[in-house]
Structure 1
Amino acid sequence: MNTLQVGYSQTVETQIDSVLATVFKDNNGPGAVFLVAKEGKPIYRKAFGKANIELDVNMKPDNVFQIGSMTKQFTAVGIMILEEQGKLNVNDTISKYIPDYPNGNNIAIHHLLTHTSGIKDFTKMKSIMSIARKDLTPKDLVDFFKDEPTDFQPGEQFDYNNSGYVVLGYIIEIVSGKAYEDFIEQNIFEKVGMNNSRYASEREIVKDRAYGYHNRGGFINKMNVSLSIPYASGSLMSTVDDMLKWQEAINNNILVANSTIDKVFTKGTLNNGEQFTYGYGWHLKNIEGIPTREHGGSIFGFKSMGVYIPSLDIYVIGFSNCDCHSPTKITREIAVLTINNFN
């Protein structure tokens, strides 16, 4: 890092500190970890608040968080790995893999990836609490929502949908012959060196786990749900450092070819030709007119947000261990600060 960059990064650090201090000023409550990287190198990496309130354990930058819907990035790339291996095609209909799926002849894997399938989002069903604490197989989970009336015909609308990514996880299992958890572990985490990332578990010992909280007029431990329910739409855990490794692996084509990455980061198009701002597992938006790749996550007790700015090679990632503190707005604010310092 040259002298100019050091000066820049010190300015960025002070500015980011002032933004985060306004939100995470309670050192005795749940906290967060934020990392900002430029050209793959961290220029900001700090922790705030407590990783565990009951045991009075301070948060540290290498704590492990549930990342919620940021899981969708891994599911999408998992599908693309299988496509490169010739085991499936994103234009295949899901009936090829799940023959009894209603309307499955009209729903393509592409529709699932882009949230345009019209399948009912199971997290919005009134009966969701009847299964929330049950350990379901992927087939049982798909069976829970597959017979619900569809919201629209495939490709007609973009409507963010967890069910689609559950079906993708099930297809990964059918095609690969491996549990989703094992497939992601072996084909992504191990290859990228994401040694502190995993499928979430409440029972297993997870070193440096951050515990999740709600605020209900005071902090309480998060509600427990079976982690078989968010599944391929939201059940992974990671650290900010591992997520930077992930971002670098995407940039450097460690897992899939550049042509495949181009497909992942192509904005979707509806049947009527209208474009929308989602690719495969990422929102494709912009900040102050500069294109971004971003995604957030929300799961009981945790919220997450990551923003990548390809033109400047800037990555901003924030994890919170209370679903009362969404890092979405702050992460985008930090991205603006960083852009202004380096653009």
Structure 2
Amino acid sequence: MTPLQKIYTLLALYILTCNPLNIASAQSFECKADSLILRVFNDKNGPGGVFMVAQNGKTIYQNAFGKANLELDVNLTAENVFQLGSMTKQFTAVAVLMLEQQGKLNVTDPVSKFIPDYPAGDRIMIHHLLTHTSGIKDFTKMPALSSIAQKEMTPEMMVAFFKNEPVDFAPGEKFEYNNSGYVLLGYIIELVSGERYEDFIKKNIFEKVGMSQSCYASDKQIINKRAYGYHKKEHGYVNKTMISFSVPFSSGSLMSTTGDMLKWQNALNQHLLLNAAETEKAFDKYQLSTGKTFNYGYGWHIKEIKGVPDREHGGSIFGFKTMGVYIPGKDIYVIGMSNCDCNSPTKITGDIAALALDELR
């Protein structure tokens, strides 16, 4: 085939599949989604991302861009496993609600019930930890963080690292995103259940839902189809900075795939893990002590896209960024995962969700 014939062939394929006037709406949506993604994820020889759209519990769009491993020149696929970063908080919040459903704790319980020596622990409720309204110091903002970033920390050691820091405000007074609160929740899950956090999540969530490609993060264990994480420097891409996953712990140390995350979303919708009353708590809006309502439930931001209510959360950890958006009124789920913290899927995921609202019926 001559070069000119190749050009004509590619042009013909574009007209058949990505012509905006094509009457096949599914093809039109797929091409428009690709176009949104390629505005940012356009380096086919660099790290990239995987994106998925589902409606009514079933995948209707999925595509991968870039490399899963630069050194081995391996392309990303929909089956690659990514670090979730703060999307981990969804699982931690649901684990707490599962324990409440079992009668083992209550979200109105004070922290002092489980950690008697926690400063002002009688005033800080589990609810405050779940909603980022506790006022405790976020360990990610502490200058001393670098001194423990690569150390193996127990949950008790992590709590000790920040618990004596001055508080930023009184419990319930403000909403301020806080990773320490979710580390505390992971520790409480261990104290109440008698199991390690990672074991509790694996047995009570991953295995029940069938999330076979999801796990607690590790740089040492062999993880099948792992996507490797990268940073981008002036001279090019470099491997991600190594950290101990015992530091972010229950605030950011889980790994998953787009397919497993759809199983997770479907399990929430079908009440496989939580009854309707407990599920509603995760997605409710709450008030500060001032009476002001804020847009965060338990593990999810409660927002809107084009005036339509949605639930969303992102994640960022060395080498990875993630974003998930669920629109309950249309049962549309959109998720994006990047294996370079130089490329954020946040805006693209929101744009694809907005596109889905316009085009999917």
Query: What's the TM-score, normalizing by structure 1?
Result: 0.98
Aligned position for 1:3: none
Would you say 1:233 and 2:251 are equivalent positions?
Answer: yes
2:355 pairs, out of 317, 320, 337, with 337
Aligned position for 1:27: 44
Q: How does 1:294-305 map to 2 (within 5 A)?
A: 294-305=312-323
Aligned position for 1:13: 30
CA distance in structure 1 between the aligned counterparts of 2:342 and 2:42, rounded to whole angstroms = 14
Aligned position for 1:248: 266
| Structure 2 counterpart SS, 1:34 | strand
CA distance in structure 2 between the aligned counterparts of 1:124 and 1:225, rounded to whole angstroms = 16
CA distance in structure 2 between the aligned counterparts of 1:340 and 1:229, rounded to whole angstroms = 41
CA distance in structure 2 between the aligned counterparts of 1:265 and 1:7, rounded to whole angstroms = 35
Q: How does 1:133-172 map to 2 (within 5 A)?
A: 133-172=150-189
CA distance in structure 1 between the aligned counterparts of 2:36 and 2:218, rounded to whole angstroms = 33
Q: Following TM superposition, by how much is the alpha carbon of 1:24 offset from its aligned partner in structure 2, in angstroms?
A: 1.4
Q: Following TM superposition, by how much is the alpha carbon of 1:8 offset from its aligned partner in structure 2, in angstroms?
A: 2.8
Q: Following TM superposition, by how much is the alpha carbon of 1:22 offset from its aligned partner in structure 2, in angstroms?
A: 1.6
Would you say 1:180 and 2:224 are equivalent positions?
Answer: no
Q: Following TM superposition, by how much is the alpha carbon of 1:52 offset from its aligned partner in structure 2, in angstroms?
A: 0.2
Aligned position for 2:77: 60
CA distance in structure 2 between the aligned counterparts of 1:202 and 1:175, rounded to whole angstroms = 28
| Structure 2 counterpart SS, 1:103 | coil
Tell me which amino acid in the other structure corresponds to 1:303.
K
Listed one character per residue, the Cα deviations across residues 297-316 of structure 1 (whole Å, up to 9, x for unaligned) are: 00000000000000000000
| Structure 2 counterpart SS, 1:225 | coil
Q: Following TM superposition, by how much is the alpha carbon of 1:268 offset from its aligned partner in structure 2, in angstroms?
A: 1.6
Listed one character per residue, the Cα deviations across residues 13-32 of structure 1 (whole Å, up to 9, x for unaligned) are: 01101111221111100010
2:102 pairs, out of 82, 85, 94, with 85
| Structure 1 counterpart SS, 2:272 | coil
| Structure 2 counterpart SS, 1:228 | coil
Q: Following TM superposition, by how much is the alpha carbon of 1:272 offset from its aligned partner in structure 2, in angstroms?
A: 1.1
Q: Following TM superposition, by how much is the alpha carbon of 1:342 offset from its aligned partner in structure 2, in angstroms?
A: 2.3
CA distance in structure 2 between the aligned counterparts of 1:130 and 1:181, rounded to whole angstroms = 24
Q: Following TM superposition, by how much is the alpha carbon of 1:146 offset from its aligned partner in structure 2, in angstroms?
A: 0.2
Aligned position for 2:139: 122
Tell me which amino acid in the other structure corresponds to 1:179.
R
Aligned position for 1:278: 296
CA distance in structure 1 between the aligned counterparts of 2:158 and 2:112, rounded to whole angstroms = 17
2:115 pairs, out of 78, 85, 98, with 98
CA distance in structure 1 between the aligned counterparts of 2:80 and 2:348, rounded to whole angstroms = 19
Aligned length: 338
Tell me which amino acid in the other structure corresponds to 1:302.
F
When Rg is computed on C-alpha atoms for both structures, the one with the higher figure is 2
Q: Following TM superposition, by how much is the alpha carbon of 1:147 offset from its aligned partner in structure 2, in angstroms?
A: 0.1
CA distance in structure 2 between the aligned counterparts of 1:8 and 1:230, rounded to whole angstroms = 42
| Structure 1 counterpart SS, 2:135 | coil
| Structure 2 counterpart SS, 1:244 | helix
Listed one character per residue, the Cα deviations across residues 271-325 of structure 1 (whole Å, up to 9, x for unaligned) are: 0110000000000000111000000000000000000000000000000000000
- Give runs of ≥4 in structure 1 deviating > 6 Å: none
Instruction: State percent identity of aligned pairs.
Output: 63
CA distance in structure 1 between the aligned counterparts of 2:24 and 2:60, rounded to whole angstroms = 11
CA distance in structure 1 between the aligned counterparts of 2:42 and 2:130, rounded to whole angstroms = 38
CA distance in structure 1 between the aligned counterparts of 2:77 and 2:31, rounded to whole angstroms = 19
| Structure 2 counterpart SS, 1:250 | helix
Would you say 1:69 and 2:80 are equivalent positions?
Answer: no
When the two chains are superposed, the root-mean-square deviation of aligned CA atoms in Å is 0.8
Listed one character per residue, the Cα deviations across residues 95-140 of structure 1 (whole Å, up to 9, x for unaligned) are: 0000000010000000000000000000000110000000000000
| Structure 1 counterpart SS, 2:51 | strand
Listed one character per residue, the Cα deviations across residues 189-229 of structure 1 (whole Å, up to 9, x for unaligned) are: 00000000000000000000000000011100000000100
In structure 1, list runs of 5 or more residues that go unmatched: 1-5
Tell me which amino acid in the other structure corresponds to 1:244.
L
Tell me which amino acid in the other structure corresponds to 2:295.
T
Would you say 1:266 and 2:279 are equivalent positions?
Answer: no
In structure 2, list runs of 5 or more residues that go unmatched: 1-22
Q: Following TM superposition, by how much is the alpha carbon of 1:68 offset from its aligned partner in structure 2, in angstroms?
A: 0.1
Q: Following TM superposition, by how much is the alpha carbon of 1:74 offset from its aligned partner in structure 2, in angstroms?
A: 0.1
Would you say 1:314 and 2:314 are equivalent positions?
Answer: no
